[in-house]
Amino acid sequence: MTTKIALFLLILTVGGLSGCKTTRVQLLSAAEPGMFKVVILYPGGEGKTFDMSYYEQKHMPMVAGMLGENLRFYEIDKGISGRTTADKTPFLAIGYFYVASIDEYNKAVATNRDAIVSDFKNYTNTQPVIQIAEIKAIVNPKSK
């Protein structure tokens, strides 16, 4: 009987923990106003290809390593549709690097530009569009 109770408590604990959204909360709290977000957009379109596995497992970790301590975290989005699910996706993928210093980011990319650009052919035939933004506000309406 004690074994059954222990097993029940273990299942209850694991179930309770898996239902928590702590990962997302930690990610939201990791970004801060004043940080910079480098957004890399990969446009979709006729004949455009993108190897998401390579991007996730090789390219983004490679670039992240080049950014060093300046990098706070990164994200990857896979485009699935446009405004509605019937619309084609405008971007096949979007990568985000969150960094503390844009000057340090620029230095790291300039130093490693050839390696970064030459790796494009391994996962896409589209030319990425880059935007650098300063994070001005982070609002979580559920935390009020």
Q: Which domains does the chain have, with CATH numbers?
A: 32-138 (3.30.70.100)
1 or 128: which carries more pLDDT confidence? 128
Query: Is the pLDDT score of 34 beyond 70?
Result: yes
CA angle, residues 59, 138, 84, in degrees to nearest 5: 65
Q: Are 98 and 36 in contact (CB under 8 A)?
A: yes
Q: Which of 5-14, 97-106, 118-127 has the lowest mean pLDDT?
A: 5-14
Tokens of 40: 């890399």
**More confident of the two residues 21 and 106:** 106
Whole-structure pTM value: 0.77
Query: Among candidates 109, 89, 100, which has minimal Cα distance to 41?
Result: 89
> In Å, how far from its chain's centre is CA 114?
22
Sequence letter at residue 51: D
pLDDT digits (tens, 9 = 90+) for 42-52: 999 999 999 99
